[in-house]
Amino acid sequence: MTDISIRKDGKAGRITLTRPKALNAMTYEMCIAIEDAVDAWADDDTVELIIIDAEGDKAFCAGGDIAALYETGTKGDYEYARRFWRDEYRLNAKISEYPKPYVAFMQGFVMGGGVGISCHGHPRIVCESSQIAMPECGIGLVPDVGGTYLLARAPGRLGEYLGTTGTRMNAGDAIHAGFADHFIPQEKWADLIAQLSETGDLFLIDQVSATPPEGTVSAQAAEIDTHFSGDTLSDIVASLKSSDSEFAAATLKALSRGSPLSMACTVEMLHRLEGPGTDIRQALDLEYRFTHRAMEHGDFLEGIRAAVIDKDRSPKWQHDLDAPPQEAADAMLTPLGADALTFQKEG
């Protein structure tokens, strides 16, 4: 497969995304190839760690390749996308629960599906160019691939802010929010990867880890906590509208671009996951309740049309931000019964 390179190198299992012209967007075939590799290496004593990286400077992985989802969904075929999400979420869970170190090198854009194949592993390495985000509400989806699990554990109300606005995090923000562990200048990556492959010694990462650049999002923590502490999206919007600060104005503008249904669901999902004892499988189950219904009942197809197909950036959402749809959000998140996510490989 020309989109991905999977091989052994010394003591490492190596996964490299190799479609930089497409910002290493992840196809269904790439997802399955990664899962097959991590399955094979889990019990392989010659593999002490996995290293995942990507070619090109612009992106580690800018998300999933959603063109095929749109093509099938607009024809009334919702099952292709549902299978994609089921298989992708199963991979995300495996990475989070993996019995060996899963080292991710994340340069440039790391968004959506790119977060799912990197930020659940440990240790996670970022650099000067890293820009990590969960921008799914802007296309009528919700932060998925286990993103809600990470967002729900971010300090204060940072998760609600990042999940609804899709704001990008630099390396400092990503470490602060729990999406990354180490800042290492990219010029040192090639030598570090070679040494890790040869020795399997994770202490090498600590030796070259540096102080990250100051986060821009984390500096706004007080205002984020003030305005995003409400129980619902409606509460958040009301709080922002009551303020005349530059932050409130900028944040309302960001929220105006997203699907009100998706943002209302995101807030509800994070609140359900913030309690003690939740795990990534609970987060993925909740995410799948939404994505299973996203084409038929949500704004997903319209969001892709406006952002990717027609590129008019003028989606016609079902609901209005001035009246966030809490009842509709609750309906999107009801249990799926027999269609619930099982994490089992299908024959």
Confidence of residue 2 (pLDDT cuts 50, 70, 90): confident
Distance, in Å, from the CA atom of 179 to the CA atom of 92, rounded to the nearest integer, reads 14
Each residue's pLDDT tens digit, 38-93: 999 999 999 999 999 999 999 999 998 888 889 999 999 999 999 999 999 999 99
Q: CA-based angle 290:295:296, to the nearest 5? A: 95
C-alpha distances in Å from residue 340, one per residue of 141, 291, 294: 18, 11, 14
Claim: this prediction has a pTM higher than 0.95: yes
Distance, in Å, from the CA atom of 221 to the CA atom of 177, rounded to the nearest integer, reads 11
Residue 85: partners with Cβ closer than 8 Å, 6 or more residues away = 144, 288, 291, 292
Mean pLDDT of 236-243: 98
3-state secondary structure 62-74: CCECCHHHHHHHC
Residues recognised as catalytic: 64, 113, 136, 144
Name the token pair of 40.
Answer: 């094979």
Q: Does residue 205 carry a pLDDT above 90?
A: yes
Query: Domains in the chain and their CATH numbers?
Result: 4-339 (3.90.226.10)
Q: Does residue 1 carry a pLDDT above 80?
A: no
Each residue's pLDDT tens digit, 283-332: 999 999 999 999 999 999 999 999 989 999 999 999 999 999 999 999 99
Amino acid type, 62: A
Q: Does residue 218 carry a pLDDT above 90?
A: no
Amino acid type, 82: R
pLDDT value of residue 347: 61
**210 DSSP β-pair partners:** 183
Give the mean pLDDT of the chain. Answer: 96
**What is the DSSP secondary structure assignment for residue 153, as one 8-state letter?**
T
pLDDT value of residue 277: 87
pLDDT value of residue 345: 86
pLDDT value of residue 81: 94
Using an 8 Å Cβ cutoff, are 303 and 259 in contact?
Answer: yes
Mean pLDDT of 109-126: 97
Using an 8 Å Cβ cutoff, are 300 and 78 in contact?
Answer: no
Each residue's pLDDT tens digit, 256-265: 999 999 999 9
3-state secondary structure 167-195: CCECHHHHHHHCCCCEECCHHHHHHHHHH
Q: Find where tokens 């931000």 sit.
A: 321
pLDDT value of residue 275: 80
